[in-house]
Amino acid sequence: MKNPIRGKMMIACETSQGAFTCSKNWDDLTSTTDASVRYCNNCGKSVHRAVTVQELNEMTAAGLCVAWCNTPEPEYRPEPAVPLKWAC
């Protein structure tokens, strides 16, 4: 099932080299028993979906890999509390 949230899901992860934005697509990650968590077979980490800005900030501050929709509604554009580097 495709993600019902409109817009592209961005994925941010924390590594020993710092935070970065992953090029993986949420819909391509492995489903888990929790609908808000998917598993990345590439890096071996769980990716948690944030729906609110508060969730996004809490999850990034905790060092979790986080997916969020970067273009849902024009007035709603969450930015993570932790600065991210873009991964190629």
DSSP 58-74: HHHHTT-EEEEESSSBT
Query: What's the rounded Cα separation, in Å, for the pair 26 and 73?
Result: 19
Which residue in this structure is represented by tokens 């949230």? 5
Q: Mean pLDDT over residues 6-10, rounded? A: 60
Say whether pLDDT at 28 is over 90.
Answer: no
In the structure, what pLDDT confidence band is assigned to residue 1 with cuts at 50, 70 and 90?
very low
Higher pLDDT, 57 or 13: 57
State the pLDDT at residue 39: 93
pLDDT tens digits for 29-82? 999 999 999 998 888 889 999 888 888 888 888 888 888 876 544 444 555 555
* Strand-by-strand arrangement of the 37-40 sheet: 30-31, 37-40, 45-49, 65-69, 9-15, 18-22, 85-86
Q: What tokens does 82 get?
A: 């932790």
